[in-house]
């Protein structure tokens, strides 16, 4: 399992570097970094902005999707499309998501990345995502991820947990 995880991390890092290189060329920016990782990518807000404007390619979405706890039906709901549309998009050569779905993909990637860092295991993070949370008005964090404001609330709560603030 560890070998598979490491391999998928390398694959995702390589895909991010390829994508960022393309974004840099098309935006006339110097963004190429041969050491850029997926985590570096998610922490660089300016790079995120340019990536959203460029659009996330389907191949990168699929690699990000593998790192998240969300099922195909969840992704369809988050992106505001049907599952069938996602399947059709996959069949299109070089499909690129428009800016609004691209932003949502990267928002969910950020939440998942932080959640994996905060909790000891993926299972604990996924359990937390699906358990009503007092600090979030007894709402389930998963349900809050459907919009940007809810995502920010979830991110803030994850940061509080990371810092040991349980209020």
Q: How far apart are CA 88 and CA 105, in angstroms?
A: 18
Write down the pLDDT at residue 1: 40
- CA dist 19 and 99 (Å) reads 15
CA-CA distance, 139 to 125, in Å (whole number)?
16
Higher-pLDDT residue of 2, 80: 80
Q: CA gyration radius for the chain? A: 16
For residue 4, what pLDDT is reported?
46
Q: What does pLDDT average to over the chain?
A: 90
3-state secondary structure of 15: helix
> Which residues, including other chains, have CB under 8 Å from residue 31's CB and lie 6 or more apart?
20, 21, 23, 24, 47, 50
Confidence grade of residue 33 (pLDDT, cut at 50, 70, 90): low
Tokens representing residue 111 in the block: 């939440």
Distance from the Cα of residue 102 to its chain's centroid: 10
| Low-confidence winner among 2-11, 14-23, 51-60 (lowest mean pLDDT) | 2-11
What is the pTM (predicted TM-score) of this model? 0.90
Question: Does residue 2 register a pLDDT over 50?
Answer: no
Local confidence band at 28 (pLDDT 50, 70, 90 cut-offs): low
Q: What is the pLDDT of residue 24?
A: 79
Q: What values do phi and psi take at 137, rounded to 5?
A: 70, 30
Determine the Cα–Cα distance for residues 122 and 37; give it in Å rounded to an integer.
Answer: 20
């Amino acid at each position: 399992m560890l070998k598979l995880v490491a391999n998928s991390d390398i694959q995702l890092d390589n895909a991010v570097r390829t994508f960022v290189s393309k974004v840099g060329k098309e935006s006339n920016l110097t963004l190429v970094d041969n050491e850029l990782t997926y985590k570096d990518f998610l922490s660089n807000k300016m790079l995120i902005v340019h990536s959203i404007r460029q659009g996330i390619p389907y191949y990168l979405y699929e690699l990000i999707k593998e790192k998240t706890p969300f099922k195909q039906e969840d992704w369809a709901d988050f992106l505001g499309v049907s599952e069938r549309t996602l399947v059709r998009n996959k069949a299109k050569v070089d499909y690129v998501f428009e800016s609004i779905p691209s932003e949502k993909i990267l928002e969910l990637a950020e939440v998942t990345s932080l959640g994996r860092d905060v909790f000891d295991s993926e299972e604990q993070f996924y359990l937390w995502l699906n358990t009503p949370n007092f600090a979030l008005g007894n709402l389930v964090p998963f349900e809050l991820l459907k919009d940007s404001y809810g995502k920010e609330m979830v991110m803030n709560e994850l940061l509080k947990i990371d810092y040991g603030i349980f209020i």
